Amino acid sequence: EAQVTQNPRYLITVTGKKLTVTCSQNMNHEYMSWYRQDPGLGLRQIYYSMNVEVTDKGDVPEGYKVSRKEKRNFPLILESPSPNQTSLYFCASSPGGTGSIEQYFGPGTRLTVT
């Protein structure tokens, strides 16, 4: 089954404790991205990757890091989480960037930073 998986689905952590949210897709897609969703603000793109070793900032990259060492994986790293990073995070993949109808989203990771 074609899918994007994220782990963990729920995470409660404390300020400053480094964490990684994993994202994996099994469709051999070149394009992957991370979004955060906040009430009243909609989804905002954090980072995206056009292919292995190619990443670029989205609209809200501050406080986040990503890496793309393998085509299937695109982890999101929070080196020093802060309460304003409490949010619902989505990973997405597509074979042809944002112009493709085949946008696949993961189920989301709800992160709470206290």
Partner 1 sequence: KQEVTQIPAALSVPEGENLVLNCSFTDSAIYNLQWFRQDPGKGLTSLLLIQSSQREQTSGRLNASLDKSSGRSTLYIAASQPGDSATYLCAARSYNTDKLIFGTGTRLQVFP
Point out which residues bind partner 1 (CB under 8 A).
4, 31, 35, 40-45, 48, 50, 58-59, 90, 92, 97-108
Min separation Cβ 73 and partner 1, Å: 17
Min separation Cβ 89 and partner 1, Å: 11
| CB-neighbour burial class of residue 114 (10 A; exposed 0-12, middle 13-18, buried 19+) | exposed
Nearer to partner 1 among residue 35 and residue 64 (C-beta): 35
Min separation Cβ 15 and partner 1, Å: 26
How does DSSP assign 35-82, residue by residue?
Answer: EEEETTTEEEEEEEEEETTEEEE-S--TT-EE--SSSSB--EEESS--
